Amino acid sequence: MSGKAFLLVNYVPGTSPVHRAPLWLKFLVVVGCGMGSFLVVDWAVAAAVLGLMCALFLLSGAGPARLYKAVRPILPVLLAIGLFQWWQLGGPVAARIVLNVLVCVVAASILTATTPMQRLLDGVVSLAVPFRRFGADPERFALTIAIMLRSIPFIAGAYSEVRDSARARGLERNPRALVLPVFITTVAYARQTGDALAARGLGEPDDDDYPRQGDR
């Protein structure tokens, strides 16, 4: 599957200042943009932050084409949201909401475009280590993130190919022709992933984590 509708940008090798920035700082930028989307109430501020995020993305050397590819899938949704919010709350509020969403997408794309996947997952493990005392498993959490990042483009690609096939048969307006094949493909992909994990002894709970049937 092509995964043409995947939102985030794949890693782009480079030696830019953004590439060399500490991983914790990149995480902080993404979290800050997410939290800021709830705090920023002026569309001009949101536009300025978006301009800064775009500048950082281009500074990394990823290129404007990749930036456009990252935001293109959500543009129709943002257009619909913007028009509805403009009708309900006015232009400034609509612009602020749309710009804040774009800020979050670009910030996340900066992280994935300048950080190798393995380093990103190692960072997730490091962040989750303090929660081990509460029963969390950092390695399993990182494995979940890795599977999610791999599954999103697969499912998006499945939908894109099914949509193109349905359009070629004149069934693009038939929800069954779109949803059912994607559902079947997704379930098959999930089973294949589960079988691959089980074959490697991954993703299954430890025996010590759960009581045996005779101990209950």
pLDDT digits (tens, 9 = 90+) for 7-56: 566 778 888 888 888 888 888 888 888 888 788 888 999 999 999 999 99
* Cα(70)–Cα(74) distance, integer angstroms: 9
For the chain, give every domain's residue range.
1-115, 117-205
pLDDT, mean over the chain: 75
Residue where the block lists tokens 């960072």 = 123
> For residue 111, what is the enclosing H or E element?
helix 91-114
At residue 189, the pLDDT reads 65
Contact 1, 158 (CB under 8 A): yes
Q: What's this model's pTM, rounded to 2 decimal places?
A: 0.65
Q: What is the pLDDT of residues 46-76, one digit of tens each?
A: 999 999 999 999 998 888 888 888 788 778 8
| Neighbour count for residue 100 (Cβ, 10 Å) | 23
Q: How far apart are CA 82 and CA 101, in angstroms?
A: 11
Q: How far apart (Å, rounded) are the C-alpha atoms in residues 156 and 160?
A: 6
| Long-range contacts from 20-27, C-beta under 8 angstroms, 24+ separation | 21/114, 23/115, 23/119, 23/120, 23/123, 24/123, 26/110, 26/111, 26/114, 26/115, 27/111, 27/123, 27/127
